[in-house]
Structure 1
Amino acid sequence: MSVLEAQSLTLSYGEHYIIENLDLKIPEGKITVLVGANGCGKSTLLRSLARLLKPKSGGILLEGDLVGSLSTKEVAKRLAILPQGPIAPEGLTVLQLIKQGRYPHQSWLKQWSKEDEKIVQQALEATRMQEFPERAVDSLSGGQRQRAWIAMTLAQKTNIILLDEPTTYLDMTHQIEILDLLFDLNEQENRTVVMVLHDLNLACRYAHHIVAIRDKKIYAQGKPEDIVNTDMVRDVFQMNCDITEDPLFGTPMCIPHGKGRQINKKKQQSVLL
């Protein structure tokens, strides 16, 4: 079952077409990762799914409803999006940031409640940010800052979370930390997660469903083990590689061809002896 669907979707910036006549169904309760070369339209497609970009033609269905027919508040109650490199106002604390996730649920009749407070605390705990509620967001490390923003999206209490390159600018340790967090949210709370990732090997490790985009259309989609092969990498990324099995996870692992330094194994062995 799909909870988010694009039908004959065409996206453009002015006369420059980014996506053309694309059909896509996001599976419910799974992690879907959009991959492709720089400039292929991954982030543009994600923004359109969140109704941040109006289609040139076609439409987006959110839980069966045309997203264009819904109010902004209604969309925010069903779907949360974390854009690439969000910036918080100077001095804004972690707690103040996370509370913003509850705004779609506020009204003149329904003000801040104990339930809101409980959800904010749950978001702090889920992202392991309960030690930093009074810290300014701009004073945090890159990994902590990203966890704070994810906590805000969790506070929206939506079944669908979209993230545009959530690991950008993070070191290896913090990349895995963020992806493990999203994996746990999916496993434990059955949240539908859709994200853009540049690292194909990490995409294969964490995704149930991969969508590869090329030439303004979907080149292939499915389970990583079904679609990630040398032909796909060559056609989508214009790169030759070998595909082997990840020794820890059993998922496809891409080993790019290139001009890296060659190790003389015989010489290395003799030195060790």
Structure 2
Amino acid sequence: MHAIEAQQLTLTYGENSIYENLDIAIPKGKITVFIGSNGCGKSTLLRSLARLLKPTNGSILLDGQAIAKLPTKEIAKRLSILPQGPVAPEGLTVLQLVKQGRYPYQSWLQQWSAEDEEMVSKALKATNMQQYADRTVDSLSGGQRQRAWIAMTLAQGTETILLDEPTTYLDMSHQVEVLDLLFELNVSQQRSIVMVLHDINLACRYAHHIVAIHDKKIAIQGTPEDIITEDTIRTVFNMDCQIIQDPLFGTPLCIPFGKGRKVNEQEQASSNLANAAMVV
């Protein structure tokens, strides 16, 4: 069974068609990353999978069930979404933010419980945010703030987590910090994680499954090793590049040529020599 499936999905914005008759299946227990050029609809597709956008036609299945027919609180217990650049109210502490993840479990009959307390504690520990619990969210660094929001989604206790560009506005070290955290959550807890990322090389490094979006459709999808090729990058991003093997992780590594600077023969020879050395 897949974590999420879209069947014959049609999405429109006003009179503009975004996707028509799109089929996609998100592997369960894996990390899936959406890539594509700006404005191609990656975030729109992610939001539709979380039922935040109503499709014009088609259906979305969550664990094999039609998401349109599920109660909102039931969905929130099985799927969580972290939008791009979330903003917390001024003065809200990390602990208060993380507690918001337990909202789907609250009702007039069921108030805050020992289980809620345990889930919040586990989420803070998993994200290494215990020492910041009493700090206000707006006083944290970018990486810490993102980990606080991820802790909130973990406290929600869902098997599937959707994240829209979780590394946006973060420097390189904090990008790796956040992605390492998500990778560890996938390994240790078998969470199904779906992300939108702009960095192709980070997508290749952390994803089990990549979905490349182009021209209102799925251009290609599969493992990074199978689909990230020079032809794919040229088709999806209209960019020439060279694909080599990441010397540390063995995943595809995209080296863009750029349009303003050409590679001369000496640089190309050095590149070929380096590639040969890595293969050896």
Fold similarity call, TM over 0.5: yes
Matches within 5 A, 1:3-82: 3-82=3-82
C-alpha separation between the residues in 1 aligned to 2:53 and 2:107? Answer: 26
Q: 1:89 corresponds to which residue?
A: 89
Give the structure 2 partner of residue 234 of structure 1: 234
Q: Secondary structure in 2 aligned to 1:24?
A: strand
Provide the residue aligned with 1:221 in structure 2.
Answer: 221
CA spacing shift, 1:232–1:181, aligned 2, 3 Å: same
Q: Which residue of 2 aligns with 1:140?
A: 140
Work out the CA distance in 1 between the residues paired with 2:230 and 2:12. 30
Distance 1:261 1:138, change over 3 A: farther
In structure 1, distance between residues paired with 2:261 and 2:158: 45
Aligned CA distance change for structure 1 residues 149 and 229 (closer, same or farther; 3 Å): same
Following TM superposition, by how much is the alpha carbon of 1:165 offset from its aligned partner in structure 2, in angstroms? Answer: 0.2
Cα displacement (A) at 1:20: 1.4
**Paired residue secondary structure (1:254):** strand
1:141-156 mapped onto 2 (5 Å cutoff): 141-156=141-156
Name the amino acid aligned to 1:15.
Answer: E
How many angstroms does 1:139 deviate by?
1.1
1:37 maps to amino acid? S
Secondary structure (helix, strand or coil) at the match of 2:29 reads: coil
Aligned twin of 1:120? 120
* Alpha-carbon shift at residue 50 of structure 1 (Å): 0.3
The residue aligned with 2:252 is 252
Q: Which amino acid is 1:93 matched to?
A: T
Amino acid aligned to 1:114:
A
Q: How far 1:106 sits from its partner (Å)? A: 1.1
CA distance in 1, matches of 2:156, 2:262: 48
State the partner residue of 2:160. 160
Give the AA of the match of 1:181. L
State yes or no: 1:203 paired with 2:203: yes
Query: Aligned partners of 1:250 and 1:207: how far apart in 2?
Result: 13
Q: How far is 1:223 from its partner? A: 0.4
State the AA in 1 paired with 2:251: T
Instruction: Show structure 1 runs of 4+ deviating over 3 A.
Output: 259-265
Question: What letter matches 2:229 in structure 1?
Answer: N
Q: Distance in 1 between matches of 2:76 and 2:166?
A: 19
Q: TM-score, normalised by structure 2?
A: 0.92
Q: For the residues of structure 2 that align with 1:171 and 1:48, how far apart are their CA atoms?
A: 29
Q: Given the superposition, is the C-alpha separation of residues 33 and 125 from structure 1 closer, same or farther in structure 2, using an over 3 Å criterion?
A: same
Deviation at 1:262, TM superposition (A): 7.4
Which runs of 5 or more structure 1 residues have no equivalent in the other structure? Answer: 266-273
Deviation at 1:261, TM superposition (A): 9.1
Deviation at 1:90, TM superposition (A): 0.8
Q: What corresponds to 1:131 in structure 2?
A: 131
Alpha-carbon shift at residue 108 of structure 1 (Å): 1.6
Give the aligned residue type for 1:198: H
2:178 is paired with a residue whose SS is: helix
SS of residue in 2 equivalent to 1:131: helix
Per the TM alignment, residue 122 of structure 1 is displaced from its structure 2 partner at its CA by 0.5
Q: Distance in 1 between matches of 2:33 and 2:184?
A: 16
Structure 2 residue runs without a partner (length 5+): 268-280
Which whole-Å CA distance do the structure 1 matches of 2:114 and 2:237 have between them? Answer: 49
Q: How far, CA to CA, are the matches of 1:46 and 1:3 in structure 2?
A: 13
Question: How many residues are aligned here?
Answer: 265
Query: 1: distance between equivalents of 2:197 and 2:190?
Result: 20
Q: Contact 2:257–2:263 (CA<8 Å) still a contact in 1?
A: no
Per the TM alignment, residue 46 of structure 1 is displaced from its structure 2 partner at its CA by 0.1
Deviation at 1:240, TM superposition (A): 0.3
Residue of structure 1 in register with 2:105 after alignment: 105
Letter of the aligned partner of 1:143 in structure 2?
Answer: G
Conservation of the 8 A alpha-carbon contact between 2:92 and 2:136: yes
Deviation at 1:59, TM superposition (A): 1.0
Identity of aligned residues (%): 70
Amino acid at match of 1:194: V
Measure the CA separation in 1 of the matches of 2:241 and 2:177: 27
SS in 2 for 1:255: strand
